[in-house]
Structure 1
Amino acid sequence: MISASPQKRLNRTTRLLLSADAHLGSPFSAVTKRNPELGTLLQQASLDSFTSIVDLALDEHVDALILAGDVFDSSTQDPKTREFFTTQMARLAEQNIPVIAIRGNHDALLGNDAYKEFGANVYLLHADSPSVEIGNIVFHGLSFDTDNPSASLLPQYPDPVAGRKNIGVMHTSVEKMPGYNTYAPCTLEELKSHGYDLWALGHVHADFIDTLGSVPVVMPGIPQPRKFEERLGGFAVLAELGEEAASFQCHQVGKIEFVECNVDLSGCADEREVTQALRDGLQSIQNPDRQVAVRLKASSWQHSSDWLTDLAMEELEGMERVHLDKAIVAPAQRPLGLLPTAPRDAAPTSPISA
């Protein structure tokens, strides 16, 4: 077990910042294909959200930053991504803040030695070096050595060290959460019975905090969502561990949020009414604090998704902080007495029955 000796000792109340699944270097391929401008914004937002995590660690004077896997989106990073990460680690090193990291399924093949160049304050936990002691805390973790581990890693985790606070760091499909590939699965009950004082998890991109019983289990989620299905992410979690109690605060670090905007166009008599309904809907989801990627879902009995996409993109040209992710048309019943409205520069369309 590595024993690290930063200049400051951890206090009786320990402050940790928990993060996971930064996916630095993600190309945002699916979004970029639909909307290149939004794809570019998301690539920058991914870096900016990680910078905010480091800012938060510095502002809160945390005792350690935990990165619970998938720090990088793949095991091959471009030089700019590596330089960015190295720079952020150096900022933490200047304030003697250690970083505890493990590899997940995305960066599983990065290798045990790759993190050494990121700074002496960065500790990658893996099978050959699963624990590091810093102050009065022992951090335990195992990195993925394959991108699809099917068996639980929990039996390989070291026993807790007596007389110390023990923190477990794991990338896992805890409780086999739906919508996520089943990697290194385990249950909350199994984690809590291992004898550690806290578990910091990665892999699931939606945040959750389980404080039932005496062993909290925290999944901070993805800091910058990459797609609409990850819209519940966007956070890092500040943990305070006292002698008898623990508290947790979710901090917003995401720069672009994904939202759904539902617009009913079924009762619109002409294109002017369609445009106004669309404009009202898009304006309603503007956020003064963050950029918004909108999944537009319209109820219509005659309009196509392509036509709606073109109209929405035109409306968004003059609207700040809102960007189209995708437009979807849901079939609706045509109201009696309404005739179909023709798209501009197009021949009248025939009514479409629901």
Structure 2
Amino acid sequence: MTIRFIHAADLHLGSPFKGFAGLPGKMAQTVRESTFTAFRNLIGHASETRPDFLLIAGDIYDGEDRSLRAQEQFRMGMETLREEGIPVFVSHGNHDHLSGSWVRFSLPDNVRVFGPQVETAELNVRGTTVKIHGFSYPERHVTEPVIGHYPQSESDAVEIGMLHGSIRGNEAHDVYAPFTKDELLGKGYDYWALGHIHKRQVLHAQPPIVYPGSLQGLHRKESGIKGFYEVEIGQGTSSLEFIPAGALVFGTAEINCAGIRHADQWLERCMHQIRAFREADGPGLLDLRLTGIDEGAEAMFSDAPESEWLEFIRECVMRDCPDIGVHRMTWERDTALAVPGGLFRDVLEELGSWDADNWKDCLADLYGHRQAYRFTGRLGEEEIREIAEEAERLITDGLMKGGRAE
């Protein structure tokens, strides 16, 4: 007897996608709609393939104050699955915890939302009993382990654990509901449906312990194809198939500018790399990283402002590959080409030594301002990295221009 289900997580419906100003109108709209498009792709696949049930392991919404549109889109998707007779099991995570303030929509009766304590849902799939254990975050910060509250497997049923959290000691992400792999294996379940980590990964093969990753990348650090897993469990074995769902892929294309002296040469190299990305990964949003900028290329680039180069390549890409957008360009210049500048060098070295606390102290007035905060949002690790990179770029560009002037 085989059961088949879908495991998805981290939908983040309604993500605001800050920092994408300047994109052409159609691409900007694609970015804004991408989480909804990915969700509709998930619902469409489920409707077509009719799994026995669907698991959503946390962070359906992007924030605790859920928008009306995001809730309506989710409700409509659940109604579509109800019409197909597909049960859905939901555990809310740190971004869409139960204490958030929002106007609530009702959900159809095929949806089971786990409460703030670990509980068990049971269903019968063609004569096989399936038990699904899970909980929803009662508030945003669940920093204590919850794994101890999950029951031990004690029957012949297929048992699945849903847990939105991270491995204890993993400092690359905010640590919520921490656990160890051995603690999960010790429960004796047939499958662990995890959420919270946006990168797809299988922590253990048999029985599977799985992060499906986010359904749609939310920024340039979340590169690669995103989607969900289709899972089959039967006769002591299991199999996984990854199903792409994202509306677009975030990526980077490196453009070697060595030897370039004319804009048409540069454009040709750019378009070659962009077409290669499109063929490999499909629709996407790219950062162009310009490398190998020698003296001749630097002289060419200096004849127009960087903003004009970016606008130019965006227009060319829109004509040739309309489903590819260029987010930004970074210029990896050799500072040795410029006249050495002690002040610039000292500032770069100082910035390079700063940690997250130094940046938070520097930006405290801006991010703590009660009016500005509405536009800046939360100052997290990703925001700090982007601010640091942009500061270094501006200083380096000033160094290069200063060198050319002298």
TM-score, with length taken from structure 2: 0.74
Dislocated runs of 4+, deviation >6 Å: 111-116
SS in structure 1 of the partner of residue 50 of structure 2: coil
Aligned to 2:164: 171
Q: Distance in 2 between matches of 1:112 and 1:278?
A: 46
Are 2:27 and 1:35 equivalent residues in the alignment? no
User: How do 1:145-294 and structure 2 match up within 5 A?
Assistant: 145-174=138-167, 176-177=169-170, 179-212=172-205, 214-287=206-279, 290-294=282-286
TM superposition shift of 1:114: 8.4
Range 173-182 or range 312-321, more displaced: 173-182
CA contact (8 A) 1:127 1:143 kept: yes
TM superposition shift of 1:188: 1.4
Are 2:145 and 1:144 equivalent residues in the alignment? no
SS in structure 1 of the partner of residue 239 of structure 2: strand
CA contact (8 A) 2:252 2:286 kept: yes
Pick from 46, 51, 58: which aligns with 1:57?
46
SS in structure 2 of the partner of residue 72 of structure 1: coil
Q: Distance in 2 between matches of 1:186 and 1:115?
A: 31
CA contact (8 A) 2:168 2:178 kept: yes
CA contact (8 A) 2:249 2:281 kept: no
TM superposition shift of 1:240: 0.3
CA contact (8 A) 2:37 2:247 kept: yes
In structure 2, list runs of 5 or more residues that go unmatched. 338-400
SS in structure 2 of the partner of residue 285 of structure 1: helix
Structure with more of its chain in helix, by fraction: 2
Q: Distance in 2 between matches of 1:310 and 1:34?
A: 9
Range 200-209 or range 226-235, more displaced: 226-235
Range 59-68 or range 286-295, more displaced: 286-295
Aligned to 1:311: 312
Counterpart of 1:271 in structure 2: which amino acid?
Answer: A
Are 2:94 and 1:105 equivalent residues in the alignment? yes
Range 322-331 or range 311-320, more displaced: 311-320
SS in structure 2 of the partner of residue 45 of structure 1: helix
CA contact (8 A) 1:142 1:153 kept: no
State the aligned residue count: 327
Pick from 320, 324, 327: which aligns with 1:325?
327
Q: Distance in 2 between matches of 1:350 and 1:112?
A: 52
TM superposition shift of 1:90: 0.7
Counterpart of 2:110 in structure 1: which amino acid?
Answer: N
Over the residues paired in the alignment, what is the CA RMSD in angstroms? Answer: 2.7
CA contact (8 A) 1:166 1:197 kept: yes
Q: Distance in 2 between matches of 1:79 and 1:112?
A: 12
TM superposition shift of 1:166: 1.1
SS in structure 1 of the partner of residue 167 of structure 2: coil
Deviations 1:13-46 (A, max 9, x none): 1101000000011111123x35374442123221
Q: Distance in 2 between matches of 1:112 and 1:123?
A: 20
TM superposition shift of 1:116: 7.6
Q: Distance in 2 between matches of 1:181 and 1:307?
A: 39
Q: Distance in 1 between matches of 2:109 and 2:219?
A: 34
TM superposition shift of 1:321: 1.4
TM superposition shift of 1:311: 2.9
Q: Distance in 1 between matches of 2:402 and 2:311?
A: 20
- Judging changes above 3 Å, is the alpha-carbon distance between structure 1 residues 106 and 305 closer, same or farther for their aligned structure 2 residues? farther
Aligned to 1:296: 288
Range 157-166 or range 305-314, more displaced: 305-314
- Judging changes above 3 Å, is the alpha-carbon distance between structure 1 residues 280 and 23 closer, same or farther for their aligned structure 2 residues? same
CA contact (8 A) 1:298 1:328 kept: yes
TM superposition shift of 1:84: 1.2
Q: Distance in 2 between matches of 1:67 and 1:168?
A: 12
Range 224-233 or range 276-285, more displaced: 276-285
CA contact (8 A) 1:205 1:232 kept: no
Q: Distance in 1 between matches of 2:19 and 2:144?
A: 30
Q: Distance in 1 between matches of 2:276 and 2:403?
A: 30
- Judging changes above 3 Å, is the alpha-carbon distance between structure 1 residues 95 and 206 closer, same or farther for their aligned structure 2 residues? same
Are 2:98 and 1:96 equivalent residues in the alignment? no
TM superposition shift of 1:115: 7.8
